[in-house]
Every structure is written in C-alpha cells, then in structure tokens.
Amino acid sequence: MIAGSLVAIVTPMQEGGALDLDALHRLIDFHVDQGTAAIVVVGTTGESPTVDVDEHCRLIQSTIEHTAGRVPVIAGTGGNSTREAIELTRFAKQAGADACLSVVPYYNKPTQEGLYRHFRTIAEAVDVPIVLYNVPSRTVADLANDTIVRLTEIPNVVGLKDATSDLVRLVDLTNRLPANRDFALYSGNDDTALAFMLLGGHGVISVTANVAPRQVADVCDAALRGDVANARRLNAKLIPLHSSLFVEANPIPVKWALAELGWIHNELRLPLTPLSPRHRDTVRRALREAGCIARPATKVYS
C-alpha cells in the first residue's frame, strides 16, 4: 500500500498551450528529491478535462518513463464513459502504471447501481490496481459508502480518494471495511488531510504538495507515525497555503504559484483562466510563510 504524500501533479504547458514535458520531468525530479510518495498524473489538478486522448496518454507514458520506478505512478484514467475509462486504464496498464485513479462519472448523474457497475466493469476489464475517486463537488454524483463497501469485494479495487471532507463519513467507512482487506484511504483535500489520517486514512493526494512537497510529506510522516503534536505543528504552517491555493478553481492558483517559483509557465487552457491579480499577493505570502522552494536555476518562466 502506498502511504503518505501523493502529489496530484499539474500538467505544465508551454506558452500557447502545448504540453511542456521538460517542465513535467523537472517537477517529477523535484518530487522524488523532496520525499513525495507517488506521482498522480492527469487528474483534476492535471487538467484532464482539457487534454485530448492522445495528450492524456502521452502524459501518462512520459511520467512513467521519466519516473523510472523511483516512486510509484498512479495514472488518472477515469471518465464519464465507461468504455473510454476502460481504454485509458488499459493504456496505463500497458505503459506500466502502478495503479489507476478512476473518478466518479460526471455529468451523467448515474445511480449507485450505475456507479457500481461502472467501476466493476473497468476493474474486470483491466487487471490493474484501481483507486476510486469521489469528488461530488465536481461530478455531482456521489459514491456512497454502501457502494464503496460493495466495490471492495473486487480484488483490484484497492483504495479511495475521498474529496468530500466529511470525516464522519470516513469513520463510518473504516468501521465497515472488511478486516482482512487492505484498502487505501486518501484524503482528496489538503485542509482536512491531517484529521483524515489521524482518523485512519493512509495519506493525501495533494494539491499543496506541488509547491511544498517536503512540507506535506513531513506532515504525513508525522501523522502516520502517531506523532500528533509534531504533525499539528507542521500542518499549522501550511494552513494559509491550503486555503490560498483554492481562492479560485484548482488548478488556477497552484499553476500561478509554480510559475511564481520559476518551475513552469503560467499557462492553462480555456475555460480556465490565469489567477486574478487581486489574489496574487495572498498566494505569494502563503508560499513565503510555508518556505516553498524556487527552482534552483535562473527563473525562465513568467
């Protein structure tokens, strides 16, 4: 089981919007050096809705090749079409992904039975570890605990990214998971990740780790060791950053922050737009307070 800080890595883009794989590789090296436990590529933070299928596959392939086994790679392969999700999952397995992150189908508003059949069909079609991803604030559909418990009966459904921030729901789920079943529980929200881990979670799939990988990893390490006092102390320094990275829709602020630190261009694809000027001092101040590291070379991005 992968535990600790898993980064939901951004997708760097060149001016004009083309993929910037060189910048992606530099970020991967940075994460490996700073103690990130795994790279999660082409998720929400990776702008999966705005890359086409060829680009999606290229990002997965390039991440796996450059990471070269130094840390696990979890490929975002979900979709609102079960058939498309299977195709992406099959590609990721062939490319060598350690696991796949499969989001609840969005826009369609399936029933719980539809969600169960969607994930079961993917898992049965492709023999690769699958982490479920529940983020109802974006998908509208909400994967209920009853359905998650049913899905744990499928051997290669191995975990859940829970972006609900509902800690009561987490406790209910942990109480109902089969005692003999290893099932990873990851917070999908940085601001509640510490509490999530102290209540039985195994880590966080983090936005903040994009700019503060060592700091987020240290919080996770302390929490998972049961060193609550140190975990709380370290986490307190990150709270302003957790908050400021969501002053506008993710990944708008985090891409601006990475550009401010010199790692990438501040480039997104429509309908996403660059961070509003009124928020920039807030994000800049939070980066400084958290001790975030600029790229160790002459800043070439703006």
Can 93 be counted among the known catalytic residues? no
Q: Is the pTM of this model over 0.85?
A: yes
In this predicted structure, what is the pLDDT of residue 297?
Answer: 61
Calpha distance 165→18 (Å, rounded): 34
In this predicted structure, what is the pLDDT of residue 180?
Answer: 85
Per residue in 13-36, pLDDT (tens digit) is 999 999 999 999 999 999 999 999
The CATH number assigned to the domain holding 168 equals 3.20.20.70
253 domain residue, yes or no: no
pLDDT at 300 over 60: no
pLDDT at 301 over 60: no
106 domain residue, yes or no: yes
Per residue in 156-195, pLDDT (tens digit) is 999 999 999 999 999 999 999 988 889 999 999 999 999 9
Omega prior to 155 cis, within 30 of 0: no
Determine the average pLDDT of the residues in 63-74. Answer: 98
In this predicted structure, what is the pLDDT of residue 5?
Answer: 98
In this predicted structure, what is the pLDDT of residue 302?
Answer: 44
12 domain residue, yes or no: yes
Number of domains in the chain: 1
pLDDT confidence of 296, banded at 50, 70, 90?
Answer: confident
Determine the average pLDDT of the residues in 239-247. Answer: 97
Higher pLDDT pick, 5 / 293: 5
Calpha distance 7→204 (Å, rounded): 8
Higher pLDDT pick, 296 / 147: 147
Determine the average pLDDT of the residues in 264-274. Answer: 96
Determine the average pLDDT of the residues in 90-114. Answer: 97
Residue from 106, 107, 116, 133 carrying the catalytic annotation: 133
- How far lies 41's CA from each of 101, 178, 205, 210, 299, in Å? 9, 29, 11, 12, 25
Can 255 be counted among the known catalytic residues? no
pLDDT confidence of 4, banded at 50, 70, 90?
Answer: very high
121 domain residue, yes or no: yes
87 domain residue, yes or no: yes
In this predicted structure, what is the pLDDT of residue 298?
Answer: 47
In this predicted structure, what is the pLDDT of residue 131?
Answer: 98
302 domain residue, yes or no: no
Give me the chain's average pLDDT, please.
Answer: 96
DSSP for the chain reads: ---EEEEE----B-TTS-B-HHHHHHHHHHHHHHT-SEEEESSTTTTGGGS-HHHHHHHHHHHHHHHTTSS-EEEE---SSHHHHHHHHHHHHHHT-SEEEEEPPPSS---HHHHHHHHHHHHHHS-S-EEEEE-HHHHS----HHHHHHHTTSTTEEEEEE-S--HHHHHHHHHHS-TT---EEEES-STTHHHHHHTT--EEEESGGGT-HHHHHHHHHHHHHT-HHHHHHHHHTTHHHHHHTTSSSTTHHHHHHHHHTTSS-----TT--PPPHHHHHHHHHHHHHHTPPPPSS-----
Residue from 93, 106, 116, 161 carrying the catalytic annotation: 161
74 domain residue, yes or no: yes
Determine the average pLDDT of the residues in 140-146. Answer: 97
- Residue 76: which domain range? 4-231
Task: For the beta carbon of residue 21, count every other beta carbon within 10 angstroms.
Answer: 18
175 domain residue, yes or no: yes
Calpha distance 134→138 (Å, rounded): 9
The token pair that represents 210 in the structure block: 């994009």
